[in-house]
Amino acid sequence: MPVLSTSPFLKPARLRCPQNSPGRQRRHTLPASEFRCLSPEDAISVFEIEREAFISVSGDCPLHLDEIRHFLTLCPELSLGWFEEGRLVAFIIGSLWDQDRLSQAALTLHKPRGTAVHIHVLAVHRTFRQQGKGSILMWRYLQYLRCLPFARRAVLMCEDFLVPFYEKCGFKALGPCQVTVGALAFTEMQHAVRGHAFMRRNSGC
């Protein structure tokens, strides 16, 4: 069966299948790899991955189930899920923010007129970690944001041990974040996505 490329934005070659080959007989099977925006119907799968990824490390989740449903209802276009044969394996959830820096209110609010995309959470299913999927998904997400005319930058907050990961994704540290969750402190980081008119004109956006 033709396999879709998991490399970002690379279109898979169209393979011709013989008339009676398994590939032709199984045309209706799920694609090997798919990226799409999430919907409220994906909320439980999202929460299960997030809970497993964060509870053991930080003791809490960036988003609880009702908050996941909240953002996937208000701004599903600011989410991205990676599916393997129909199964969610990694995701990002974002919302819009309208201030220079994140505040406590940014954890729960979506500001429709904002130009900063606040990335609330990136998580990968435990069986798919250590495969580079987090970096690939973030790369695709940032490319996608460049297609959105209102998006000027992506912002997030993370614990110090994750700063090197996001720096490799192109984020720059802004300093300590004003937001705290219990005893946890965070570094605020941002990635510019504006100034890419040429890319928009030539990316099919």
Indicate which residue of 63, 137, 166, 191 is catalytic. Answer: 166
User: How far apart, in Å, are the Cα atoms of 76 and each of 26, 39, 134, 156?
Assistant: 31, 6, 19, 18
Provide the residue type at 30 as one letter. L
Q: Which residue in 122, 137, 145, 156 is the catalytic one?
A: 122
The active-site residue, picked from 4, 65, 74, 109, is 109
User: Is 141 annotated in the active site?
Assistant: no
Radius of gyration of the chain (CA): 18
CA-CA distance, 123 to 178, in Å (whole number)?
23
120 classed as catalytic? yes
Tell me the residue ranges of DSSP E strands in 56-109.
79-84, 87-97
Is residue 144 among the annotated active site residues? Answer: no
Transcribe 2-64 into DSSP letters: -----STTPPPPPPPPPTTSHHHHTTTSPPSEEEE---GGGHHHHHHHHHHHHHHHHSS-SS-
| Helices 43-58 & 65-74 angle (0-180, nearest 10) | 130
Question: Residues 79, 88, 95, 96: which is the catalytic one?
Answer: 95
CB-based contacts of 198, cutoff 8 Å, min separation 6: none
Does 166 participate in catalysis according to the annotation?
yes
Q: What is the separation of C-alpha 174 from the centre of its chain, rounded to a whole number of angstroms?
A: 21
Catalytic residue among 118, 120, 125, 191: 120
Q: Phi then psi for 203, rounded to 5 degrees? A: -115, 0
Just list the catalytic residues: 95, 109, 120, 122, 166
